[in-house]
Structures are given as C-alpha cells and as structure tokens.
Amino acid sequence: MVSPVYIRPLLALLVIVAITGIATFVLRDGSRDSSTVRPASQQLPENIDVTLKKARFSEIQDGQVVWELAAERVDYDKVGDTAYLTDILMEFHRNRSQGKITASADSGEYSSTAKTVRLHGHVHVVTEEGASFNTSSIVYSGATAQFLTADPVTFRQKKINLTAVGMEYGVKSQKARFFSSVDASIVSR
C-alpha cells in the first residue's frame, strides 16, 4: 500500500501533467487553424466584390416575369456590373405567344446594363414543344429576345436531328435559324 504522504503529491503531479497536456493541445491546434484562415479580402479575386451562393436573377417587363435565372454560385463585380455565374438554370416563363423555355449551363456571365446572359459549358436549351439545342456557348440578348451562338449546335425535335455551325433562336417567335454546315436527318421511329 502506498503511504498517504505520497498520494497527495502524486495526484497534484497528475493534475499538472493533464492541464499542461490539454493546454499544449489547444494552443498547438489553435495556432495551426489560424494560419490557414485567410481574411475575407484575400479570399476573393481582385475584381470580385461579392460572392453569393444559390442566387436568383429575373427580368420583368410590363409587370410580367420574362425569365428567372438561378445559379449555385455568383461572383459579382459592381464596377463592371457583371455577375459571374456557376451551375446555371434559366427559365423563360410561358405566356400567350410562347411556351416555356429552359436553358442550363456550367458557367456564364450576366450583365444587367447590357441585358445579356452568356452561357458556357454544356449548354442545353429545351422548349416546351420538345425542341432541344446543345452547344458549348450561347448568348441571350434581352434587347432582341434571342439566343445566338457561332459554335457548333446539335438540334433535335421529334423526328429531326440537325447539326450546324452557328444559330439564332428567337424566344418570342420560337423559330431557329442555322448559319452554316447544316446537316439534317429525319429519324423514322
């Protein structure tokens, strides 16, 4: 049996060792975390003023919503009035003269002053009537209510498959015009 004279100093020594170990662990991990955290001003590129997650934009004309755009991430540049978008879904609402149109893309830019939306990467446009377009990039102009691309396009609607280089698509008229290297085929089903 251990003498009571030795128990108190042994307990005091164990408490001091435990406190020293905990303090060392906290100080060491705390200093490591603070070295990896950067101030907010250093996390954004120089030309970006604000970064948002799950943002929505819309255009309203004559009290009616023309389109809505949702993006998973938006980097906004106030000076240049440009929003840089990631993982985009853009929907044109149905009205008396047109059916619903949906466009999706990996990334893009939105300029509210120029009223343009540029879509890049796996651009996919689908109309309510069943037409679909695939291209690598396309620009929507709010001034003309048209999509425009100079890139190769794949178009499909019902039994028609078409490839071309360059296209313009009127949102209000829902008519497409293809520019060059047009190759179309009718698929029998």
For 114-130, the pLDDT digits (tens) are 889 999 999 999 998 88
- Residue 179 to residues 153, 174, 176, Cα–Cα distance (Å): 10, 16, 10
pLDDT value at residue 189: 63
- For residue 165, the model assigns a pLDDT of 95
What is the mean predicted confidence (pLDDT) over 10-17? 74
Sorted by sequence, the CB contacts under 8 Å of residue 2 that are 6+ apart come out as 10
Distance between CA atoms of residues 63 and 70, nearest Å: 20
Give pTM, 2 decimals: 0.71
Q: Report angle CA 56, 61, 63 to the nearest 5 degrees.
A: 90
- CA angle at residue 80 from 41 to 43, to 5 degrees? 15
The topology (CATH level 3) of 42-186 is lipopolysaccharide transport protein A fold (2.60.450)
Indicate the domain borders of the chain.
1-37, 42-186
Those residues whose C-beta lies under 8 Å from the C-beta of residue 149, and which sit 6 or more positions away, are 123, 135, 137, 138, 139, 166, 167
Query: pLDDT tens digit string along 15-37?
Result: 787 777 777 777 776 555 444 55
pLDDT at 66: 86
User: Residue 122 has which token pair?
Assistant: 């796996």
Chain-centroid distance, C-alpha 27: 39
Which of 52-66, 105-119, 129-143 has the lowest average pLDDT?
52-66
